[in-house]
Amino acid sequence: MKIKILGSGCKKCVALADNAKAAAQTAGIDFEIEKVTDIVTIAGYGIMSTPGLVLNEKVASAGRVLSVPEIAQLLAQAHPSES
């Protein structure tokens, strides 16, 4: 699964990346995390506030740091065969 964290690299972006990594590891999902900091690329996803969470090229969340359980639920919905 491809996981992207959209944002400038601020504390909230780092926290979201850490939570996404923990959720994917706990679920036993093969994943790759990419941090996207380019504002034009971020705008291309249509989000107005960061951090943003993108799962397999679909925006799953924007503007807040999701908890590990919240991300785990999104991962299960995005790729049920791997959960």
Domains in the chain, CATH or no CATH each: 2-82 (3.40.30.10)
What are the start-end ranges of the E strands in 1-83?
Answer: 2-6, 32-36, 52-55, 58-62
Q: How many angstroms separate the CA atoms of 12 and 15, rounded?
A: 5
Report percent pLDDT > 90 for the chain.
89
Q: For position 78, what pLDDT does the model report?
A: 84
Q: For position 82, what pLDDT does the model report?
A: 44
Structural tokens at position 9: 């690299």
Per DSSP, what are the bridge partners of residue 2? 32
Q: For position 63, what pLDDT does the model report?
A: 96
Backbone angles phi, psi at 50, to 5 degrees: -110, 160
Residues of the chain with pLDDT under 50: 82-83
Q: How many angstroms separate the CA atoms of 44 and 8, rounded?
A: 15
